[in-house]
Amino acid sequence: MGRIISFSSGKGGSGKTFSSVNFSAELASRGNRVLIFDLDINCSNVFILLHVKPETKLQDYFEGNIPLRECILKSEHGIDVISAGINVQRFVQFENDYNLSNLATDLKELKDDYDYIIIDYAAGINQMVMRFYAMSDDIVLVANPEITALADLYRLMKMLHVNNKTNKMYLLVNKVKNIDWAINLHKEVKKVSEKFSLKIDLKLLAPILFDDDKVMRSVQKRTPLIKLFPKTPIKGGFALAVTRYLDEIGESLDDKDIKSKTFSNFF
């Protein structure tokens, strides 16, 4: 049975969707069956980054016309997608307990078909997000070094902790200039958490180095950056993030993962 991984951030602009797509692409490159569920109903972008034609199937699902399984779209990058697409105006009306409960139940049933289901949320936190955090096996928080982003990240961690969703989270630090930035940010967040007695086990996965030009070209080509530029520090960052994550959950490493595993000495 597969695992559900929630990707979230406290503030928009952290690179959450970019991170979830490339993390998924790295998992898929290692032979895993991966599904991304784009639940950012305000700004659904996964279908753009994976070059998937947007459809209104999720709307049909909420209207009771089709099962959730029929909402799955195939991408050319080996990753399946469920997306709100671009017609989300009517989707919002279905955010109620009954429909969310059905969605959560149906999503769990898809775990038998995938090794990993990645849920990409809107930034921040609301009723829908909290419900899906509760059903997730793991939570990956995406942050960048901006002060406001860190403040919002701490608020998100506190909300999750107070609501007893989890006491273990993973941190992916995006848009950093070097590895030290990621290490220092991780230490700072842990320090603040300890100061306010939040007993959270926050695991640093990896730094994702800043390269605006390659990110833009990846978006334009509608191809995960790690596939478009396989010999770059950003690819190395996602390879390390996935390796460390798999190590944390007890998945055995293949021989091809040993090289990226050695980079864990940086942490």
Mean pLDDT in the chain?
Answer: 82
Q: Residue 123: what pLDDT? A: 67
pTM (2 d.p.): 0.89
- What pLDDT, on the 0 to 100 scale, is given for residue 238? 96
Highest mean pLDDT out of 60-74, 120-134, 156-170, 252-266: 60-74
Does position 264 have pLDDT exceeding 50, yes or no? no
Residue 116, pLDDT > 90, answer yes
Tokens 């034609």 correspond to what residue?
53
E-only strand ranges, 9-129: 34-38, 73-74, 80-83, 116-120
Domain extent listing, the chain: 3-249
39 contacts 71 by C-beta, under 8 angstroms? no
Which residue would you say has higher pLDDT here, 170 or 131?
A: 170
Residue 265's closest CA among 201, 179, 193, 190?
A: 179
| CATH superfamily to which 3-249 belongs | P-loop containing nucleotide triphosphate hydrolases (3.40.50.300)
Site of tokens 């050695």: 262
The fraction of the chain above a pLDDT of 90, given in percent, is 40
State both tokens at 152: 């919002």
Give the pair of three-digit tokens for residue 260: 């990226």
DSSP tag of 10: S
Burial class (CB in 10 A: 0-12, 13-18, 19+), 73: buried
